[in-house]
Each structure stands twice: as structure tokens, then as C-alpha cells.
């Protein structure tokens, strides 16, 4: 069977999936796996489409010290245990900058252009591109497709994407991009199937996970997003602060004597839920904790989601629906309930029983806006784009 490999590479983990497809172009998920603990306590685990475990193996730190070695281990395991013909690889690439508004087949020239964007997404972009670079060297004949988290938001009006700075900076690419676009694109597509009337309306989608953002969509297109020039803006996240006064950064530079690199590390690794709580960046741990810091972090997370819902509803001139998705949005009934309660002024009427059961619709029949929980699937979106770009869909 012909198959696609989908890779989502981070600094300490590489997520991968294998999708098979027949002549009709219908995709079938065959394998789902991850290498985590890269450089520390590496572990490869994977399962089949039905959840059956295929491998769960730990390695020495020197065996999987970086993304290239993780890909080598995954490739070796796939070659020796799985029966398929790999015809292409699709990659999640966080930042496409001002030039890439759709997926592209990557060559060395495009890779070089994308590497220039690494300072705008230092937590993600270098690892995303390391996986592409590794496969270009090992399998140069294999088509590789980059799918960008920024592309879905390129439908924004220029007014929404500007900062109040001289126009020359905008033309240099200093603008609001928005991220998590592959997730939002998938949700927009699912809404067309599950709630077509709502899909044509005004919807806020809350992608709530370790990375978190919200997107205002009208007729399935992005109108506004909480994230901007980088993936630091907007909502508080696991280790990132979200919206912050630029004066705070000047204070860290001038009064605390921090270097730009130290500030970058601080903003990407030591803020957000982790910084507020002093406990963890994991919402599951915070919800089980009784410490004042954990309570503060959760309260702040919910408050900022509700605050940004008002901002996005204003961008849409009203609201017809609110969708929860991603790790926290899909799995924390408590967070969904607390956010929904704060959306009452927009006309939301919440159904606690449906929420506790994890149902698709968690609003009451008389609610003026629909409250939904829709699981996202960025990897399937990448596979679809890859197949389409190769002319096989």
C-alpha cells in the first residue's frame, strides 16, 4: 500500500503518523507514534489504527540525542516492521512568514528561506526544519511538503495584521500572523460536515493546549487571531506568557540586566501556567493541585480566554458559536464549564450533563450561541494537503 509519513517535530519530541491510501485517495491512519525525551530519557512508542501497541522502547540518551537521530530510529523501525511504500512526507512548519500562504514542496532554496524565520518561532521552527533537512539528505528522491500554521490566517484583512508602527516594518514582514492554523483549518472543515449552518456563521475556536490561541472565523475563514508576530502573544500557555506589555521586556533589559537571549528563554520556557503556578505547565497537574499558585494559574487562564472571547466577538460583529478543541479543550470538562459560564453575556446557555459526557454539543437547546467540543486532527490535515499537492487526492 502507498503511504504518507506525517512528521511534527519539536525540540524534545517527534510525533509521527503513517497514512495509507488507495486509488480513491481516501486516507487511512495506519500508525501513530512519538519519540519523546530526546536528549534526556528517549522513548519510542507507537500504536496501530485500532490502538494496539506496536512498540514501547526506551533508549540511552546518546542513542537519540537530537531530532535527526530520532528520525533515524523511527525510519529504521518502520522499514523493518511495517509493510507499505512511502511516497511522500508531510511536515508541520509553524512559521511561513509573509510569502507562504499554502503548502509547498520543499527544496533546498525554500528550506533556506524558512530558516530565516527561526528567530520568530525559536521553540518550533528549528526542529520543524531539522526533520526536513535530515530527510532531504537521507531520501532526496522523496517529496516533502511543508504545511504552515500561519497559512490559514492569511485571509485576514490588512487592518487586522498591522502593528501601529511605520509601514516599512509591515513590508519587511513585521506583522500579525496567527498560528495553530492547521488545527483551525481542520475544525472549519469539520463544522461544514457537523454543523453546516454554523460553519457559515461567526465562530470562535479556542485551541487550548500547552500552546493556546483563539481564532475568529466567519464562513470558515480566519478573520482574527489572538496570536501575532510570534507564538508568544495572546493567551497564557504552558510556559509562554501570552499578551504582555512591551515595557515589561524593556524593564527586564534595563533594570534586571537580562540579555536578549535570556529574555527569549524566559518567555518561552519559564512563564505561562508554569510561571504563575510555580507547580507545573500541565493543566492536569494544576487541576489536581490545591496550592494557591495552581488556583491562580487556572483562574488566570480562564479569565484571559473569556477576555479574548469578547475581543474576537467584536471582530466578528457578534457570535453564533464557540468551539473548544486541542488537549485541554477536548479533555478538561472543568475548563470548558468555567469558560462557558463566562460566555453567558454573549448568550451562551451551558449544559453541564452534556459537557461531563464529552458530547459534541454542550449548550442547551435555548442557547443563543452554540457551544461545541470538536477534537482536532492537525496530522490528518497535513496528510490531506500532502496528497493534494502531489496530485493524488
Q: Fill in the DSSP letter of residue 42.
A: -
Query: In the beta sheet, which residues pair with residue 55?
Result: 46
| pLDDT surpasses 90 at 372 | yes
Average pLDDT for 305-312: 98
pLDDT tens digits for range 112-131: 999 999 998 888 899 999 99
Q: Fill in the DSSP letter of residue 120.
A: G
- Under a CB-based contact definition with an 8 Å cutoff, are residues 283 and 336 in contact? no
pLDDT tens digits for range 77-106: 998 898 889 999 999 999 999 999 999 999
Cα separation, 217 vs 188, in Å, equals 8
| pLDDT surpasses 90 at 23 | no
pLDDT tens digits for range 196-249: 999 999 999 999 999 999 999 999 999 999 999 999 999 999 999 999 999 999
Cα separation, 14 vs 336, in Å, equals 29
Q: How many CB atoms lie within 10 A of CB 80?
A: 7
Distance from the Cα of residue 352 to its chain's centroid: 27
Cα separation, 151 vs 273, in Å, equals 28
What residues contact residue 114 under an 8 Å CB cut-off, 6+ apart?
93, 95, 96, 97, 100, 106, 125, 129, 146
Place of cell 480562564: 302
Q: What's the pLDDT band for 390 if we cut at 50, 70, 90? A: confident
| pLDDT surpasses 70 at 159 | yes
Query: In the beta sheet, which residues pair with residue 90?
Result: 6, 145
Helix (H, G, I), strand (E, B) or coil at 225: strand
Q: Look up 233 and say whether it is catalytic.
A: no
What H or E segment, with its residue span, contains residue 17?
Answer: strand 13-21
Helix (H, G, I), strand (E, B) or coil at 123: coil
| Sign of the four-CA dihedral 212, 11, 273, 234 | negative
| pLDDT surpasses 70 at 393 | no
- Under a CB-based contact definition with an 8 Å cutoff, are residues 154 and 97 in contact? no
The pairing of beta strand 321-325 with beta strand 13-21: unpaired
Cα separation, 239 vs 211, in Å, equals 8
Q: Fill in the DSSP letter of residue 229.
A: S
Catalytic residue among 50, 101, 107, 149: 149
Q: How many CB atoms lie within 10 A of CB 41?
A: 12
pLDDT tens digits for range 267-302: 999 999 999 999 999 999 999 999 999 999 999 999
Amino acid 16: pLDDT: 95
- Under a CB-based contact definition with an 8 Å cutoff, are residues 340 and 303 in contact? no
Amino acid 392: pLDDT: 63
Average pLDDT for 132-149: 93
Q: Tell me the percentage of the chain whose pLDDT exceeds 90.
A: 88
pLDDT tens digits for range 243-254: 999 999 999 999
| Sign of the four-CA dihedral 190, 194, 196, 200 | negative
- Cα angle 321, 325, 327 (rounded to 5 degrees) comes to 160
User: Integer distance in angstroms from the first to the last C-alpha of the chain?
Assistant: 15
Worst-scoring range by mean pLDDT, 42-46, 135-139, 211-215, 257-261? Answer: 135-139
Query: In the beta sheet, which residues pair with residue 36?
Result: 13, 43
| Sign of the four-CA dihedral 199, 202, 207, 213 | positive
Cα separation, 113 vs 107, in Å, equals 10
Average pLDDT for 181-188: 97
- How high is the mean pLDDT of the chain? 94
Amino acid 177: pLDDT: 95
| Sign of the four-CA dihedral 143, 129, 107, 64 | negative
Q: Tell me the percentage of the chain whose pLDDT exceeds 70.
A: 99
Cα separation, 218 vs 104, in Å, equals 26
Torsion of CA 209, 214, 218, 223, to 10 degrees: -130
From the number of C-beta atoms within 10 Å of its C-beta (0-12, 13-18, 19+), residue 17 rates as buried
Amino acid at each position: 500500500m502507498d503511504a504518507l509519513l506525517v512528521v511534527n517535530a519539536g525540540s524534545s519530541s517527534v510525533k509521527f503518523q503513517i497514512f495509507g491510501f488507495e486509488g480513491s485517495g481516501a486516507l487511512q491512519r495506519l500508525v501513530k507514534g512519538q519519540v519523546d525525551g530526546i536528549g534526556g530519557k528517549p522513548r519510542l512508542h507507537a500504536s496501530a489504527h485500532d490502538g494496539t501497541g506496536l512498540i514501547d522502547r526506551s533508549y540511552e540518551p546518546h542513542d537519540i540525542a537530537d531530532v535527526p537521530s530520532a528520525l533515524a530510529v523511527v525510519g529504521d523501525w518502520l522499514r523493518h516492521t511495517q509493510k507499505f511504500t512511502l511516497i511522500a512526507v508531510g511536515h508541520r512548519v509553524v512559521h511561513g512568514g509573509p510569502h507562504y500562504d499554502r503548502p509547498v514542496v520543499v527544496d533546498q532554496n525554500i528550506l533556506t528561506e524558512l530558516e530565516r524565520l527561526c528567530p520568530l518561532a525559536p521553540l518550533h521552527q528549528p526542529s520543524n526544519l531539522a526533520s526536513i533537512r535530515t530527510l532531504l539528505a537521507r531520501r532526496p528522491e522523496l517529496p516533502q511538503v511543508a504545511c504552515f500554521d500561519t497559512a490559514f490566517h492569511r485571509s485576514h484583512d490588512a487592518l487586522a495584521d498591522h502593528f501601529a508602527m511605520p509601514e516599512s516594518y509591515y513590508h519587511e514582514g513585521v506583522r500579525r500572523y496567527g498560528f495553530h492554523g492547521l488545527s483551525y483549518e481542520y475544525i472549519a472543515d469539520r463544522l461544514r460536515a457537523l454543523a453546516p449552518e454554523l460553519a457559515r456563521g461567526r465562530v470562535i475556536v479556542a485551541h487550548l493546549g500547552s500552546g493556546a490561541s483563539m481564532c475568529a472565523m466567519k464562513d470558515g475563514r480566519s478573520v482574527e487571531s489572538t496570536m501575532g508576530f510570534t507564538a508568544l502573544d495572546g493567551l497564557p500557555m504552558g510556559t509562554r506568557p501570552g499578551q504582555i506589555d512591551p515595557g515589561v521586556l524593556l524593564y527586564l533589559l534595563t533594570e534586571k540586566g537580562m540579555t536578549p537571549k535570556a529574555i527569549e528563554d524566559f518567555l518561552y520556557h519559564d512563564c505561562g501556567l508554569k510561571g504563575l503556578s510555580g507547580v507545573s505547565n500541565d493543566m492536569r497537574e494544576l487541576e489536581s493541585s490545591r496550592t494557591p499558585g495552581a488556583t491562580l494559574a487556572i483562574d488566570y487562564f480562564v479569565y484571559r480566554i473569556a477576555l479574548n472571547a469578547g475581543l474576537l466577538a467584536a471582530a466578528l460583529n457578534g457570535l453564533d458559536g464557540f468551539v473548544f478543541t486541542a488537549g485541554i479543550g477536548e479533555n478538561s470538562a472543568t475548563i470548558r464549564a468555567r469558560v462557558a459560564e463566562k460566555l453567558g453575556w454573549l448568550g451562551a446557555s451551558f449544559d453541564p450533563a452534556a459537557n461531563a459526557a464529552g458530547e459534541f454539543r454542550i449548550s442547551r437547546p435555548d442557547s443563543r450561541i452554540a457551544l461545541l467540543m470538536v477534537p482536532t486532527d492537525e496530522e490528518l490535515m497535513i496528510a490531506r494537503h500532502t496528497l493534494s499537492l502531489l496530485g493524488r487526492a
